[in-house]
Structure 1
């Protein structure tokens, strides 16, 4: 097996949603970049020699895990079958956050929900309920929004028809306050608007 810090590299790469450079990984584990590069190459060779269902590739200037090509049909079938299933409570809550705060980064969604949402966001994107719509001009983070298919599934003609948050989310008052705080922080106070307008009745 590779160096003693290889498990730390594996743990970091498990969380990666895009290739991570050896320099960034070296900084994270506190090891020389050359040693990290060598460990990554050794890990990749180890996965190949032991016939794992995934591989470690060096692409786009960084390293990332990928499933092997020979399993593509199996994975495609599994994902398509998953699209016909119902969404979990975690997925529904994540989708609600995206719908009401879009465009929004994955990090901000995680901040609102208080948990890592990478896997849930991938599920929602796979089901064509959300999509990447650009990058935050300040942080460079990817921004996500709901899709036309989301509106179709919800029976809406536009996002303006979304109902108020409170009746539909668990602990809605706390979540709505959190959403409002985040939205206000994203724009100057003079331009901030309430997420849910008061009922005219």
Structure 2
């Protein structure tokens, strides 16, 4: 009886589930054991993002002669053709799309690893955001210093290749933490909630929050 009560008390109170779809157990999921993977992923992702223009397509475009104009040795320089411009634009568009998809989700996913009904986890949640934003800034600093140096000295093939490798590494990190994550069950349509936020924001803008 006591063992059953102890097991029940270790379950989260906010309905979060583990990767098997069962109610998450605080002893094996969430908290720092889960959010540390999120923080490491964010550091690698920020380093990769700030090191571009980016990732796989940009690495390819900087290494394949057919996807970039020849080095400018005599002016006027040879301009990129329409296909080369299209490839570069497509690479940048995919980066913007990917960044737009991850940025609204990663910090909230990290916050979901903490049970607000648990006083200790509530305190740890504040610490998570401190480390999370430190990871963002550390990734940016490394990108504009170390990666800028590499791009200048070794060329853009290395300058784009290393961030691409870091991005792949960040995906591996995030996937490695799968057994430790807590997942919130979907509540209704995300599009409905999105529109509700937009309508509320417009209403507050035009009539004032205090009115």
What TM-score bracket applies, with the shorter chain setting the length? under 0.3
Could you say which structure has the larger radius of gyration?
2
Larger relative contact order (CA 8 Å, sep ≥ 6):
2
Give the alignment's TM-score, normalised by structure 2. 0.23
Give the alignment's TM-score, normalised by structure 1. 0.24
More helix by share: 2
